[in-house]
Every structure is written in structure tokens, then in C-alpha cells.
Amino acid sequence: MFELHHLSAQEQWDWLQRGEISPVELTRHYLDRIERLDEHLGAFVTVTPEAAIERAASLAARVPKTAPLWGLPLGDKDLVNRAGVRTGYGSRLMQDFVPERSDAIVEVLDAAGAVSLGKTSAPEFGLPSYTESLVAPPARTPWNTALGAGGSSGGAAVAVAAGLLPFAPGSDGGGSVRIPAAACGLVGLKPSRGLVPSGTGLSSLGGLVVPGPLARTVADAAMLLDALIEGGDYPFTVRAPRWDGGALLNAAVRGEGRFQLGVMTTSPWDDAYDIEIAPEASAALALAVSELDAIGHGIEDFALEPDDSYAPNFCTIWQAGAASIPAEGEQLELLEPLTKWLVLRGRQVSARELSSALGALVEFERSIIRQFRRFDAVITPSLAMTPRPVGWYDAEDAERNFAQQVQYTPFTSFANVTGLPAITLPVSQTADDVPMGVQLVGRPGGEHVLLAIGAQLERRLQWQRRHPPQW
């Protein structure tokens, strides 16, 4: 039986434009699905049905109908402030915080005509690559609810994969859009540093964190990213030279071009941790490479130059970034062990150590861009393992926990350090129907190439037709 969530986000927007459905009808459809299905999924930590219906009912008077996301439901990640709605940051420390002002990305999405249904689940302060916290149920991939959805945009990924939202914004500081997208069988895109005005990345330590879309199709991801780029001012940066209004959606819909691709299974973590690529991850990579070769792309195996500086310097930045979490004295006991470890370690980092780590990562960025120069994009596994069981990560031993995260996600963080665009694509499923994907890392400002390649793979593999049981 046909239901509204069976339409792509683009199709839903078209129906809204033609008046075949109203924003209120679409909002109620998704709210009903959240009420029926989310108890066993953990996508949302807060649902705001009254505010959503009121927003949808008055949308025509507030926002021009031609706005790029007019009438489409979304969720705000629970690390993002929306005025008057509790923002818990996945932490007992912030469980009663209700912001008075909205963050810039919320204002951009509202101006684009989106309708927020509430807050999607995130781990404590977005630090882990899995979405399991002490304040909310774990976010579970809809494909197998014994397995975690990844993080830190885990709730957003679950909501999109299970048909509780048409698509969703997330944020990515070390893979936090791409990891849950891979675990939930979605397209997840981390844009170039500086591309999205409401989240340039320049305000985060090391320029790591940027917002990006999670979607079921490449074109839907491009549609949401275009809206994020179009909204807001550019106080720190300039528009990407290849972007013009709607240009990324055009690239995703057309899916044109033949490119030179590097195939990489090495990672910057290899010298510090025992990284093993699971057979399922290797099979997904092999399938994608075979299809890309058949399309006519140039394919070349590629290995990173050894560099033992990445792991310690990234750890320093990750710890230093946690140092500003507002917990003092007894409040530290409200933090989870991993967060507390990062905070305490971060507060021990000296200015000299921090400056040295930042400088070394700038040199790493230059090295990666030089090594990737001969390719239009480099393809890697999205994850080194299949999605991890809920409870798999060590909840008490923080150092072991961090090592587990690295071993699961060794290919994602370097794209944040270098500021390069990266997209994960859901190319295959295991024998147990668990999704597995590949990641493409592009040149600075090269989102259009990643989307074009993604569209070509999508046409051949038809992953948009695969859905979990809740569909």
C-alpha cells in the first residue's frame, strides 16, 4: 500500500507545490509514524507535535511557497539549539537546558520552509561515533535493532532510514554524518570546510565540525545541502566557486562525467591501532569499484604515505575540544566515562602542545591534498566493520572505548582534518541484510563530483528501493 513516506523528498516537495498534499497532512503523517515506531528505534529524544502542526498550518503565511524545503518535515539534532525546546546534548549535565535563542542552522532551515518535528538523538556532546547515552534509549539501525546506528547523528539516520523523516540534517566532526549513514543504509555527505555559512567549521577547534545531510537518495542529499548553502551570510568564507543556487541538485540529478578514482584501504590510524577490514566491508568496496570501472571511470589502487603523527595529534585536538564542556567539580560525575576522560585530558593539554598539534594537522592536510592531487576522488570503505551491536563499546574503560571507535571508523576523521568533502554511499547488504557502504573523498569544493559519481552508482545498484522492515 502506498504511503506518503514512500516518496522521495523531492517528490514530496513537488506534491506540496502542486497542492496535492498540505504541510499539515505531511507533518501528521510523519508524527503518526514516530508515535507508532520510534519506541523501539531511538530516533527522537523530543517530539514537538503541537509546535510542528502550528508551524505547518501557518507556513503559507510565513514562508514563500517556492522556498527550497517548503513544508518538508525535519528533525533538529539534539546538539543544536532551537529556542524554547529542550536541548540536552545527550548528557545528564544539560538535561534541563532550554535555550532562548536558536542556532544559525535552525534559522536557515526555518527560512527554507522546513517543519521541525523535534530533536533527534545524539550521544553525549556528540563526542562518540555511536549513539548510546545515559539519558535516552540507544539509536538502533532499523535493519537490525540489535545493532547500533552509529553516531553522532545516529537519531537522524534512524529517522530517515525508517521513514520517520524524508531527510535530516546532521553534523560531522569526525564522521558523525557518514558513520550513521553507513550503518543505516543512507547517503551521508560531509561538505567542504567553509561551504555552509551556518556551519563553516571555522568556529570549532581544528575546523573539524560542519553540518551535512542524511538522505535515502543522492539527489535528496543534494537538495538539502543546496538549501543549507543558500541560507545565511558568509562572515568567514566565500561561496564555493562551482556552486550556484541548486547546482548540487543539478549535478546529482544529471549524474554525468568520467573521473579518475583512487582506491584506498590504508588509513591515517594504521600506525597506532590494529585496523582490520571485515570481509563485508571489502566486498562492498569491491562491488563499488567493479561498477565504477564498468561505467568507464579510471581506477587506480592507492596507499597513503606512512605518517605516525596523525593519531597523537588528532587525539590531542579531540581531547582539547572537550575541555570547554561546562562541568566543574561534582558536575564532572554527571559525565559519562568517555566524556570525563576527554575533558580531564583536554584540560591538561598545554598551549604549546595544542599549537603543535594544530600545526602538525595543517601539514597533514597539505600532505593529503598533495597525495590526492591526481584523483578526482578517492574511494575507501565507509566503515571497517559491520554495524556494531548495541552495548559493544566499553562503557568504563575510556581508552579502550576510543580504540574501538577508531577500529570501527578509521576512514572518516581525516576528511574533517583536511576539510575535504566526503560522501558515504550504501552500495550493498550483507547476508543478514545489514547495509554496507563506501566513502568517496573529493577535492576541495568537489561536492558536485561526489554527487555525480553517487548518482551513477545509485542508478546501477538501485539502493533507494531497499528498505528496512519498518518501511
Grid cell at residue 279: 570481509
CA proximity to 281, closest of 442, 427, 412 = 427
Active site residue 176: yes
Q: Given the residues 121, 176, 198, 267, select the one marked as catalytic.
A: 176
Cell numbers describing residue 418: 583536511
User: Residue 337 has which C-alpha cell?
Assistant: 566515562
From the candidates 91, 116, 129, 152, which is the catalytic residue? 152
The grid cell for 462 is: 538501485
CA distance 354 to 313: 9
Nearest to 368 by CA among 281, 267, 276: 267
SS3 content of the chain, % helix, strand, coil (to 5): 45, 15, 40
How many angstroms separate the CA atoms of 173 and 193, rounded? 11
CA 140, 205, 311: angle at the middle one, nearest 5?
A: 70
Quick one: DSSP state of residue 94?
G
Cα-based angle 69, 105, 173 (whole degrees, multiple of 5): 115
Helix (H) or strand (E) holding 300, with range, is strand 298-302
- Tell me, yes or no, if 119 is annotated catalytic: no
What gap in Å lies between CA 209 and CA 171, rounded to an integer?
7
**Contact assessment for residue 407 and residue 277, using Cβ atoms and an 8 Å cutoff:** no
Taking a C-beta distance cutoff of 8 angstroms, is the pair 114, 213 a contact? no
How many residues does the structure list for the chain? 471
Q: Which three cell numbers stand for residue 286?
A: 569491491
Residues 6+ apart with CB under 8 A from 203: none
Catalytic site residue from 77, 119, 190, 340: 77
Neighbours of 154 (CB within 10 A): 35
| Cell matching residue 201 | 567549521
Give the three-class secondary structure for 6: helix
Task: Please confirm, yes or no, whether 282 is among the known catalytic residues.
Answer: no
Q: How far is CA 417 from CA 171, 355, 402, in A?
A: 15, 15, 18
| 3-state secondary structure at position 353 | helix
Put residue 366 in one of left, alpha, beta given phi > 0 → left and psi -120 to 50 → alpha. Answer: alpha
Residue 75 grid coordinates:
528533525
What is the C-alpha to C-alpha distance for residues 184 and 282, in angstroms, rounded to an integer?
A: 18
Q: Which residues are catalytic?
A: 77, 152, 176
